[in-house]
Amino acid sequence: MTITQLQYVLAVAEYQNFTLAAEKSYVTQPTLSMQVQKLEDELDVKIFDRSKKPIRITAAGLKIVAQAKNIVNEADRIKDIVDQEKGFIGGEYTLGLIPTIMPTLLPMFLKTFIKKYPKVNLIIKEQNTEALIKNLQEGHLDGAIAATPLEIESIIERPLYYEPFVGYVPKNHRLAKQDKLNPSDLDINDILLLQDGHCFKEGVVNLCKSPKKYADEHFQLQSGSFETMVNLADEGLGMTLLPYLNTLELDTQKKNNLKYFNKPSPAREVSLIYHKNELKIQITQALKEVISGIVRGAIAFQDVNIISPLSKI
């Protein structure tokens, strides 16, 4: 029995297809199939039922796959221990980011991070929160950046920064003459929201005093773009709320429509999250230090007050 054989078993269990598992494992299909068969012969048990399409895991196979995950993780941990002892920060690291964070945060820290840690090969993926959690738990991501708290037992959350809400209020809106906003001013019925599935939308809904009436009687909007929200607000279709970092790149004319909240300002907590097995923790810590320093500096420089998050925004 070898670690490589167990890795091949895990690949087949995930993709339920020998050809695809081989492709993802960067080996030929005959090589992978032969190694899985050798392991089954050694154990004298069938791990996979090949008569089914897609391939099914047998009852015994389910237990073997669960144990294989533990063994492979522990083998990876040995390399981590050696890297940490040597002070080495490098290797491949897969990082996920949610869509409402990636466009603003990634350009802020990526160049600095790769310059400081040139031996780290970052693989960056944009995914929603549900996918991030699933992929962290299954070992497909090493870390992720998401709005928290999530309060999931297997996931560790390390806050990076607190990002305030900012209102985008066009000139013809009922709140346009107010210097500052309060959460009590908000009405869900005249706020343009992101499509369902965005945690930022749920955070906005939780701020508002009115019931959850998502659909206007004349149109229904399903967009994941803050830019779209701003443009529709300019057309007189309502106001919207933006994360603070999304306001920094607005042109001067649009910035005139921004309304900040009275202190304390409602904010969302943004955290670096990772599995409790803490694999590649030295790279995770390096990411946290770089991102926290850059973003907290940007928010503090703008003199915007922040508070603890109100919800999973």
Distance CA 92, CA 218 (A): 49
pLDDT of 301 over the 60 cut:
no
What stretches of 178-246 show up as alpha helix (H) in DSSP?
A: 199-207, 226-234
- Same topology, domains 90-161+269-301 and 163-259? Answer is yes
* C-alpha dist (Å) from residue 186 to 24, 168, 182: 49, 12, 7
- Note the pLDDT of residue 8: 94
Q: Could you count the other beta carbons within 10 Å of the beta carbon of residue 56?
A: 13
Would you say 113 and 287 are in contact if contact means Cβ atoms under 8 Å apart? yes
What share of the chain in percent tops pLDDT 90?
44
- Note the pLDDT of residue 263: 83
Mean per-residue pLDDT, 266-292? 91
Dihedrals phi, psi of 71, to nearest 5 degrees: -65, -45
| Band of residue 211 on the pLDDT scale cut at 50, 70, 90 | very low
Would you say 310 and 199 are in contact if contact means Cβ atoms under 8 Å apart? no
What value does the mean pLDDT of the chain take? Answer: 83
Q: Just give the CATH number of 163-259.
A: 3.40.190.10
- Note the pLDDT of residue 234: 85
Mean per-residue pLDDT, 45-54? 89
Distance CA 306, CA 297 (A): 13
Assign domain 90-161+269-301 to its CATH architecture: 3-Layer(aba) Sandwich (3.40)
Would you say 66 and 59 are in contact if contact means Cβ atoms under 8 Å apart? no
- Note the pLDDT of residue 86: 78
Q: Is 282 left (phi over 0), alpha (psi -120 to 50) or beta?
A: alpha
pLDDT of 179 over the 70 cut:
yes
- Note the pLDDT of residue 44: 94
Q: What is the pLDDT of residues 74-113, one digit of tens each?
A: 888 788 788 777 777 888 899 999 988 998 899 999 999 9
Count of CA atoms in the C-beta half-sphere (13 A) of 289: 9
Tokens of 57: 């895991």
pLDDT of 130 over the 50 cut:
yes
Q: Is 202 left (phi over 0), alpha (psi -120 to 50) or beta?
A: alpha
Tokens of 197: 């599935």
- Note the pLDDT of residue 53: 83
What share of the chain in percent tops pLDDT 70?
86
pLDDT of 219 over the 80 cut:
no
| Band of residue 224 on the pLDDT scale cut at 50, 70, 90 | low
Tokens of 122: 């970052």
- Polymer length in residues for the chain: 313
The yes or no reply on domain 3-84 and CATH 3.30.70.920 is: no
| Band of residue 218 on the pLDDT scale cut at 50, 70, 90 | very low
Mean per-residue pLDDT, 8-22? 92
* C-alpha dist (Å) from residue 175 to 172, 198, 260: 8, 25, 12
- Note the pLDDT of residue 300: 63
Would you say 208 and 188 are in contact if contact means Cβ atoms under 8 Å apart? yes
Q: Note the pTM of the prediction, 2 decimals.
A: 0.72
Domain positions in the chain are 3-84, 90-161+269-301, 163-259
Query: Looking at this protein, which amino acid is placed at residue 259?
Result: K
